[in-house]
Amino acid sequence: MPIANLGPGQTAPNILDHLESLRTKDVRWRDGRCFTLAYSAGPDVLALAEESYRRFSGENALNTSAFPSLRDMQQEVVDVVTSWTHGDDITAGFMTSGGTESLVLAVRAARKRAEREGRNLTRMNMVLPSSAHAAFEKGADYFDVESRRVPVGADWKADVEAMRNACDDETVLIVGSAPQYPQGVIDPIASIAKIAADRNINCHVDACMGGVTLTYLERLGEPIAPWDFRCDGVTSISVDLHKYGYTSKGSGVLLHRNKTLRSDQTFITDNWLGGMYGSSGILGTKSGGPIASSWAVMHYLGDNGYERVTQSARQSTMRIYEHLNAHPDLVVRALPDSTLISFGTQDPNRHDVFAIADHLISAGWYLDKQTPPASIHLTVNAIHEPLIEEFLADLDRAVQQVGSLKGSSGSYATTE
């Protein structure tokens, strides 16, 4: 039988049983054993996220005049993220399907702005630190903008002077991250934005990871340098809700300083036989699921809930940091500015960090292997708190096992 043959219809219970059996080898993120890709603030939050998603999964935000419910929910979500990022009543944005769509659109908006302002450019470029997210490369590829990556400093943060020097008359966009993903540090946003203000070009702040966390860490009294619309020159900010907003997947927000800048993101045409067609982002049909899920979870957690889950994730991160920092064989890449942490080994000849990662994965954990340099990367969130000591004990055991397997002969290939 050809594998593409669908065969006769089956019963719903059979299909649901089959679906459950398909997922038996998936990572156990709901149990807090996964340090990447998935986020949980507990079973009650997940249940609400999933139920609100289910109820609006068939609704379509492509045309919100047919679904005023989605228009209102989206606007409320955008308004809350505007207040988190210290925007004002001229800040304008839309929900996106997540960080990648937001960043791709930020690149597109920078190109459109240059065209709208009549700048006569032959090969537009964007200047960004080597640490900025891979999705900027996707945007550069889609919209034919040269990507000028500038090496980060020894502290893994953007090198502002080198970025300034990398700009020229064809530069349309400059980027900072709060925090950047690989080492979890916040770029000097105010100084990066100043370059953009001086050159009158776009400055995007990628707060996909940190937008929620930094907001609530600051409210909890942690000293955090301004990273948002408080910085002159910042023209757009992305914040993902399907990460530390703890909503269902497919939810981010892209904000612009004003509606004119937002008009560089949107698309409208009547050049076909179907009439006027406008859309806020890359998607046409846009499921109501992520919108309803975001609206529901944000109202469920509220400010007090976000303070609680932010504090929990932050404390777990710092507990891991202290353990790694005191460990004779491990080395932390940077003091975490939020809830991301990466580490390697003191002597890669003796301890291959990816072998340590593999031991942890066999022990039922899941985490990211990252290069360069060869490191383990952890995205710590609210679900992890009760499991941190168990994780650290398993980590210590994995380090020992890898060390004793290799002895001190140094005969293994280095990974760094």
Ligand X SMILES: *Cc1c(COP(=O)(O)O)cnc(C)c1O
Chain residues that interact with ligand X, rule: CB under 6 A: 98-100, 103, 133, 135, 177, 181, 206, 208-209, 240, 252
CA distance 114 to 174: 13
CA 264 to chain centre: 22
Smallest distance from ligand X to CB 137, Å: 11
Strands of 328-406, DSSP E? 330-332, 340-345, 368-370, 375-379
Smallest distance from ligand X to CB 267, Å: 19
356: buried, middle or exposed (CB in 10 Å: 19+, 13-18, 0-12)?
buried
Closer to ligand X by Cβ: residue 119 or 369: 369
Closer to ligand X by Cβ: residue 207 or 398: 207
Closer to ligand X by Cβ: residue 99 or 305: 99
Q: How many CA atoms lie within 13 A of 117 on its CB side?
A: 15
CA distance 281 to 104: 10
Closer to ligand X by Cβ: residue 29 or 277: 29
Smallest distance from ligand X to CB 208, Å: 4
Closer to ligand X by Cβ: residue 61 or 399: 61
Smallest distance from ligand X to CB 407, Å: 38
Closer to ligand X by Cβ: residue 104 or 324: 104
Smallest distance from ligand X to CB 166, Å: 20
Smallest distance from ligand X to CB 308, Å: 22
CA distance 341 to 32: 16
Closer to ligand X by Cβ: residue 252 or 336: 252
List, as one string, the DSSP characters of 29-40.
GGGT-B-SS---
Residue, CB closest to ligand X = 99
Contact of 26 with 364, CB cutoff 8 Å:
no
Smallest distance from ligand X to CB 54, Å: 21
CB atoms < 10 A from the CB of 314, how many? 20
The CA-atom distances, in angstroms, between 195 and each of 155, 199, 243, 321 are 21, 6, 29, 33
